[in-house]
Amino acid sequence: MAWLLTRAYCPRALPWASRCLCGLMKVRSWSQGPLTAYMPEAASFPGARDHQSLYKTSVEQGDAFWGMLARSRLTWITPFHSIQDCDLRQGRAAWFLGGQLNVAVNCLDRHVHVAPDKVALIWEKDEPGEEVRVTYRELLEMTCRLSNTLKRLGVKRGDRVTIYMPPCPLAVASMLACARIGAVHAVVFAGFSAESLADRIRDAQSETVITVNQGLRGGKVVELKKTVDQAVKQCPGVKRVLVSMRTDNQLPMTALDVLLEEYVFDYQDRDVFGCVADIGWITGHSYVVYGPLCNGGTTVLFESTPVHPNPGRYWETVERLKINQFYGAPTAIRLLLRYGDEWVKKYDRSSLKVLGSVGEPINKEAWEWYFRVVGETRCPVVDTWWQTETGGICISPRPSNPGDEILPGMAMRPFFGISPSVLDDKGNVLLGNNVSGALCISQAWPGMARTIYNDHKRFVETYLAPYPGFFFTGDGVYRTSEGYYQLTGRLDDIINISGHRLGTAEMEDVVNHHVAVAESAVIGYPHEIKGEGAYVFIVLKKDSKYMEETLAAELRELISKKIAKYAVPEYIQVTHRLPKTRSGKIMRRVLRKIVENKASELGDLTTLDDHDAVQQIIEGHKHLVERQKSC
Ligand code: PRX
């Protein structure tokens, strides 16, 4: 639901002016024009004259606020009779009761009635300069044909459909076609291995998979259909695989395959929302597909990588497609920063109005470079905090608010309707400023996750039970002395590699499958480019004759195959023992300090069962880091 506010959040034509205060990092932005210019609904709340009072209204009169937005911005098949029935203590979150809508109708039909030839998608293909524009009318046609194909093949309301495709118009049409007929889509990031794909297909009990013959990424062919074929061998429940031809390469068909036809596209020139996330992640769902389309915008589907064919790719795309709002991940910004300013300055970025960042904390250096070099200090940088479970942006600067300051490395302010709280580990709400703790949200909002498919108990245990009455995000947060929110990282055993969340347990599970491995511990450590990297500690089986290099190579291969290439660890350290408490729990905080090169700050070790083990690990870590450096 928060993506309903995409337009309000990234207004199309607000004149921006930003300047740096103190020559350093404090940035102010000013906008002209009343609040109602980009959020006409504000007029219905007499007290809401500015952002501050509208935010207050959105939290204090949540029902009226969300009800108003839902009525004015969505087309309902059956209007809702009550706005919400939420009780976070009881694990209940129900919105717009009695109401019925179709999100595909809201993303397509509504706009086709008004402006059928407006460009909905710009597919920025891997091959630079070969973009494809798809109008709302064409996207609706494509979606309807695909919905009919799905229905003809027996896909019904409530069935799960796995989409394993790179960002392309047919992938968006597949999502919308599922939504149109009431099927549930599970978009699996097309970088995942056959094993990971198979897990997800089985978990969703999906009978249908939609894919392409081959993908193209960074100039390389990615064998997506072959991966699907391998995955499907492990999923007897799959009844059909719909295949679209992304390249000319004909592949052998299997008995399950259904070939999809190609479509013809129109070419037009319009304004653009440029979120470069993959549609396999939540950012792609909310800010490439549903948010922009529901708002009748033009959205970019970026298929390539930031460095293909060279590190100027993003900015060349901005120039060519005249992107107005660019939304990307810190990991890519950090990578591009290394290549220097020239790759950016070569291209005209005057179309840009707002620069967004998402997925992980953006460090000050990267923020500064994004702001100064990419945006020429003209475009506010919005560091947006949210997560899959929140559905849309929850904490973020709001540069459209006159006079709001923007500070680097900080998500800053709660978005409309979001009431963040900071709780200590005993569950006390920490009032006032200058406090750190767990980030929780005290009031339900329409975009929040309501359950875990087939496992409501797990949903309640993970998100609602840890702090009764609150939605627990799993992130740590610091509320600054000025009352701004600064995210401090995950509180659980999750690492965030290049903006992709990965459970350390999942990687340990893969590593432990190797014949030579007795046990392992995977720890996240700060990584210059990826934000976090995985550092793997291994204890070998007693009789193992493996050479360390061979083992490391095999483990990397295994992780790449079973999880994904992005997860492959740079550091794999073999050790005799892992540091454990006397009750046998791995002391992860000790390992974390070691990999962060803070071995002098190990803290209280009274529960540690073997102090020598820690010393050996510290030595081993030093050697490994030196060895990697010299390679
Ligand atoms: O830890 C937070 C981090 O990414 C997590 C959410 O990951 P995911 O569900 O994959 O969604 C990614 C796209 C929204 C969060 O729990 N995170 C996300 N944005 C930020 C962030 N950490 C710091 N600052 C952010 N702006």
How confident is the model over 568-579, as pLDDT tens digits? 999 999 999 889
Kindly indicate the confidence band of residue 9, based on its pLDDT and cuts at 50, 70 and 90: very low
- What is the Å distance from ligand 1's center to 482 Cα? 23
Supply the residue whose CA is at minimum distance from atom 13 of ligand 1: 359
**DSSP track, 445-478:** -TTS----TT-HHHHIIIIISSSTTSEEEEEEEE
**What percent of the chain stands above pLDDT 70?**
92
Residues 307-344 as b or e (16 or more Cβ within 10 Å = b) = bbeebbbbbbbbbebbbbbbbbbbbbbbbbbeeeeebb
Residues in the chain: 631
pLDDT beyond 50 at 24 = no
Q: What is the helix (H) or strand (E) element at residue 209, kind and residue range?
A: strand 208-212
Supply the residue whose CA is at minimum distance from atom 15 of ligand 1: 387
**What percent of the chain stands above pLDDT 90?**
60
* pLDDT value at residue 494: 82
Question: Is 529:567 a contact under the CB 8 Å cutoff?
Answer: no
* pLDDT value at residue 261: 64
Q: Cα(393)–Cα(362) distance, rounded to whole angstroms?
A: 16
Omega before residue 579 within 30° of 0, cis = no
Supply the residue whose CA is at minimum distance from atom 2 of ligand 1: 360
Q: Please list the residues that pair with 478 across neighbouring strands.
A: 436, 486
* pLDDT value at residue 33: 55
* pLDDT value at residue 458: 92
Triad 49, 50, 51: Cα angle to 5°: 140
Kindly indicate the confidence band of residue 19, based on its pLDDT and cuts at 50, 70 and 90: very low
Does residue 498 have its Cβ closer than 6 Å to ligand 1? no
Residue 554: how many CB atoms within 10 A of its CB? 15
Supply the residue whose CA is at minimum distance from atom 24 of ligand 1: 361
How confident is the model over 207-219, as pLDDT tens digits? 999 999 999 888 9
* pLDDT value at residue 619: 95
Spatial CB neighbours of 101, under 8 Å, sequence gap ≥ 6: 74, 75, 76, 77
Mutate which of 333, 393, 477, 496 to test ligand 1's pocket (most atoms within 8 Å of Cβ)? 496
Closest Cα partner for 256 from 223, 215, 225?
A: 225
Q: Which residue type is seen at 89? A: R
Supply the residue whose CA is at minimum distance from atom 16 of ligand 1: 387
Chain centroid to Cα 607, Å, comes to 38
Mean model confidence pLDDT for the chain: 87
Closest Cα partner for 137 from 122, 123, 124, 119?
A: 119
- What is the Å distance from ligand 1's center to 473 Cα? 10
Assigned token pair, 450: 């309501």
pLDDT beyond 90 at 605 = no
* pLDDT value at residue 488: 77
- What is the Å distance from ligand 1's center to 253 Cα? 39
Q: For the chain, what is the total number of helices (H) and then of strands (E)?
A: 20, 28
Atom of ligand 1 nearest to the CA of 384: 26
Across 248-273, average pLDDT: 65
Kindly indicate the confidence band of residue 263, based on its pLDDT and cuts at 50, 70 and 90: confident
Residue 59: how many CB atoms within 10 A of its CB? 16
* pLDDT value at residue 512: 84
* pLDDT value at residue 23: 25
Question: Is 631:623 a contact under the CB 8 Å cutoff?
Answer: no
How confident is the model over 338-371, as pLDDT tens digits? 888 999 999 999 999 889 999 888 878 889 999 9
Does residue 381 have its Cβ closer than 6 Å to ligand 1? no
Question: Is 380:352 a contact under the CB 8 Å cutoff?
Answer: no
Does residue 443 have its Cβ closer than 6 Å to ligand 1? no
Q: Cα(438)–Cα(393) distance, rounded to whole angstroms?
A: 18
* pLDDT value at residue 99: 97
* pLDDT value at residue 227: 95
Spatial CB neighbours of 465, under 8 Å, sequence gap ≥ 6: none
Closest Cα partner for 618 from 579, 570, 586?
A: 579
* pLDDT value at residue 594: 96
Question: Is 169:121 a contact under the CB 8 Å cutoff?
Answer: yes
